[in-house]
Amino acid sequence: MPRDSLLLGLIGQGLTLSRTPALHEAEGLANGRATVYRRLDTLTDPLRGKSLAEILDAARITGFNGLNITHPYKQEVLPLLDGVSDQAAQLGSVNTVVISPEGRLTGYNTDTSGFARGLEEGLGGVPMATAVQVGAGGVGNAVAYALATHGVEHLYVADLEPARAQALAESINEIVGRKAVEGIGLDGIEETIAGASGVVNATPMGTLHHPGTAFDTSCLTPDHWVADVVYMPVETQLLADARARGCRTLDGTRMAVYQAVDAFELFTGIAPSPERMRQTFLSLGLASAQ
Ligand code: NAD
Ligand 1 nearest-atom number relative to CA 231: 41
Distance between Cα 229 and ligand 1 center (Å): 8
To 10 degrees, what angle do helices 162-176 and 138-148 make?
Answer: 40
C-alpha 29 – ligand 1 centre gap (Å): 32
Band (3; pLDDT cuts 50, 70, 90): low
CA nearest ligand 1 atom 39, residue: 256
Task: Ligand 1: list residues with CB < 6 Å.
Answer: 134-140, 159-161, 164, 186, 202-205, 207, 214, 229-231, 252, 255-256, 259
d(CA 103, CA 287): 36
Nearest protein Cα to ligand 1, atom 18: 214
CB atoms near residue 34 (< 10 Å): 12
The answer to whether 19 is annotated as binding is yes
Minimal-distance CA residue to ligand 1 atom 17: 214
Q: Which residue has the CA at smallest separation from atom 33 of ligand 1?
A: 230
Quote the percentage of the chain above a pLDDT of 70: 97
Structural fold of domain 112-251: Rossmann fold (3.40.50)
Of 24, 33, 60, 74, the active-site residue reads 74
Mutate-to-test residue for ligand 1 from 132, 203, 210, 215, highest number of ligand atoms within 8 A of CB:
203
Q: Which residues contact 183 (CB under 8 A, 6 or more apart)?
A: 136, 157, 158, 159, 162, 165, 166, 167, 168, 169, 170
pLDDT band at 287 (very low <50, low <70, confident <90, very high): very low
Using the atom order of ligand 1, give the atom closest to the CA of residue 229: 41
Residue nearest to atom 1 of ligand 1 (CA): 137
Tell me the per-residue pLDDT of 14-29, one tens digit each, with 9 for 90 and over. Answer: 999 898 999 999 999 9
Rg (CA), the chain: 19
Distance between start and end Cα atoms, the chain: 28
Q: Is 177 known as a binding-site position?
A: no
- Asked whether residue 86 is marked as a ligand-binding residue, the answer is yes
Q: What pLDDT, in 10s, does the model give residues 71-123?
A: 999 999 999 999 999 999 999 999 999 999 999 999 999 999 999 999 999 99
Q: How far is the CA of 194 from the centre of ligand 1 (A)?
A: 22
Q: How far is CA 112 from the centre of its chain?
A: 6
Q: From the CA of 260, how far away is ligand 1's center (Å)? A: 19
Distance 217 CA to ligand 1 centre (A): 18
Q: Is 74 a catalytic residue?
A: yes
Q: What are the phi and psi torsion angles at 59 (to 5°)?
A: -65, -40
Rounded Cα–Cα distance for residues 252 and 236 (Å): 9
**5-108+257-283 shares its CATH topology with 112-251:** yes
For the chain, domain boundaries: 5-108+257-283, 112-251
The CATH superfamily label for domain 5-108+257-283 reads: Leucine Dehydrogenase, chain A, domain 1 (3.40.50.10860)
pLDDT tens-digit map of 151-199: 999 999 999 999 999 999 999 999 999 999 999 999 999 999 999 999 9
